[in-house]
Amino acid sequence: MGYINNTAQWDKKTADRNGKLYGSIDFEINENLSQTIFEKVELKPVVGKLEIGGRRFEVTYQELDLLTETISEAKKVIQMRYKMGMMK
């Protein structure tokens, strides 16, 4: 139930215009999490499932941090290459 993007609401035209994976990217929140997981540093429970391209990946909170950082850096590098005229 706890999805972030609710990809079912997007029409095919919008999804196709933004890339072949666009309409398949979503995140399902693990509804069974307890408040204590944030109090105990040693716990690394699965906080949800990342969905992309029809595949689902169970991820921890720490993995979400790394995904966010990686995607942000990738966008910065692409933008920098564009500004420096390094695109073909």
Instruction: Answer whether residue 2 is part of any domain.
Output: no
The percentage of residues in the chain with a pLDDT greater than 90, rounded to a whole number, is: 53
Instruction: Answer whether residue 29 is part of any domain.
Output: yes
Name every residue whose Cβ is closer than 8 Å to that of residue 58 and which is 6 or more positions away in sequence: 46, 48, 49
The pLDDT score that the predictor gives to residue 7 is 64
- pLDDT grade for 8, boundaries at 50, 70 and 90: low
Tally of structural domains, the chain? 1
Instruction: Answer whether residue 24 is part of any domain.
Output: yes
pLDDT tens figures, 14-48 = 777 888 888 889 999 999 888 887 777 777 889 99
Q: Could you tell me the pTM of the whole model?
A: 0.79
Instruction: Answer whether residue 62 is part of any domain.
Output: yes
Could you tell me if 51 and 26 are in contact, meaning their C-beta atoms sit under 8 angstroms apart? yes
Q: Which long-range contacts (CB under 8 A, 24 or more apart) does 33-38 make?
A: 37/61
Q: Which domain holds residue 37?
A: 7-83
